[in-house]
Every structure is written in structure tokens, then in C-alpha cells.
Homo-oligomer: A and B are copies of this chain.
Amino acid sequence: MSHAPSTGRFASATSVTRTGAGTYAGAVEPGWDIAGNANGGYLLAIGARSLLEATGRTDPVSVTGHFLSPGRPGPVSSVTRVLKTGRRFSDGFALVEAGDRPLLSVLGTFGDLVDSPADVLVDGSPPALPPPDECVRMDTDRGAPPFMGNVELRLHPDDAGFASGAKSGIPRVTGWFRLLDGETVDTVALLCAADAFPPTIFNADLPLAWTPTVEFTAHVRARPEPGWLRCRFTTRFITSGFLEEDGELWDVTGRLVAQSRQLALVPRPAPAA
């Protein structure tokens, strides 16, 4: 039940099939991983698709994911539970598992994002970015994770220094996002986009390390117009062992289409040998 049935690599790699009352089958496809573990936003898209099917809605509005164990290529199932069916929105919970190993829990609100009221306040703007061709491609031939070969990312040169050991010192990442081969970025793909960029703290004055996500929430405000997204991810507080990463996704028309926030763990120093 998709508003403009998406076809393409991402749509295929996140598709689900109903297998019973509230249960769906899908697969973690190879190549969507960071160091062997499926990208979180990609996994979340699978969970969201199962809940869209279960609720009969077309768009995720708010999706929260908790990542329970790493996703590896292979079949997965999603057991959904519709918690509320309202006039405008429906709520549901899903548990995505590989066999009996839980990968992801999802709590979400789903609706149909048409007929949006006019904007009242926009206290912000899309990040200023050089044209995509003048930005930094995350090249899987030069060490970028496989996942980044399945989407198109272009980082602002000022935010890509970490790749060459010249980090900016500012925990911020901005850049362009789209899917490969002109595939439409639908509202489910926004969930993937919101978790597709390298962590902000790659640019902070901290040892370079991946940051485990405790919790991830994306709020989808509108369907993006086709084209590149402009994305900004920032971190203001690295405190008490935690950091937040706040995302803004703007479509090609300059409209805010999604916000995201995740809580992540600051990597702990390895114990002395």
C-alpha cells in the first residue's frame, strides 16, 4: 500500500511480504552493511514497511527504533501489532527478528502525508552545500563501508576531513543524499537517509570510532519532491557518556521533510593492556 509504488534497489531490499496475521517476511540484503552489520536506518525501513502494511497507511510519521542485535544478510521476520487505528494516524509496534534473534524493535505512527497545511515557522534553512560534484563521495573502493555503495552520499568538503585525518573539530556532517539509479526517495527512504551519514563525532576531537545507537527516532513531515536531499547532522552535547545526533533533511525545493534524533554511546577507551 505505497502511494507511488517504489521500485529500485532500495525498495526491493526493504520489501516485505505478508505471511500471516500481522506477520511479514523480508530479508537483510547483502551490501547494506557497515563493517558487516546492516545499517540501522536500512533495518528500520524494513520494520517500517511491515507496519505500513499492517496499518494500511502510506507514510511513516514518527518511527522509533531500538537496535537489539546486529543485522546480517539473510531472511528476517517482522511481527507487528497495531496499537491504535485513528482517523488520521495509526500506531503500531513491530519486532524484527532473524530466526529467533531479535534485531530491532519499532514503535511508530503512520499516516497519509497529503494535503499538508502551510508552513507557519521555519527557523532554519537547508545546509549550504557546493554542488554534488564538488562534494566528497564516500568511496567504497577507498574504505567506505559497503552500505555507502548502495546509496549516493556526497559530503560537504568541510565535513569530510575525518577521512583524511584532518577532522574539523566540529561534530557536524552535512551533505547530499539520494538513492541510486534515480530511484525515488519515498518517506520510508527518509528513514534510511536519516541514518546514512558518518557519525558527527568523526569530526569531533575524539578517537575515531563507531558509536552504538541507543535509540533512533525520525519524524517525517512531508513527502520529498524527487531529487537530492540536503542533510545536516549536528551534536551539541557529548556528556555523561552519551551524545545526541540531530538531523534535518530538506528536499530539493527547500522544504523540511524530516527531522531525526538519535542517542548514541560515546566509545569507551579500550582498557589498558
Contacts and interface: CB of A to CB of B under 8 A. Distances in A.
Given A91-B105, A107-B107, A117 B266 contact: yes
Contacts of A171: 121
Kindly report how many copies of this chain are found in the complex they form together: 2
Interface in A84-112: 84, 89, 91, 93, 95, 102, 105, 107, 109
A68 B84 contact: yes
B236 A121 contact: yes
A204 interface: yes
A91 B263 CA distance: 14
A89 B215 contact: no
A242 B215 contact: no
Contacts of A83: 66, 68, 95, 102, 105
Contact of A119 (B68, B240, B263): B240
Interface string A241-264: 111100000000001100101010
Given A122-B237, A124-B237, A107 B64 contact: yes
A217 interface: yes
Contact of A244 (B84, B204, B259): B259
Interface in A178-219: 204-206, 214-215, 217, 219
A111 to B, nearest CB: 9
Contact of A238 (B64, B121, B268): B121
Interface string A117-154: 10111111000000000000000000000000000000
Interface of A: 61-62, 64, 66, 68-69, 83-84, 89, 91, 93, 95, 102, 105, 107, 109, 113, 116-117, 119-124, 171, 204-206, 214-215, 217, 219, 221-222, 235-244, 255-256, 259, 261, 263, 266, 268
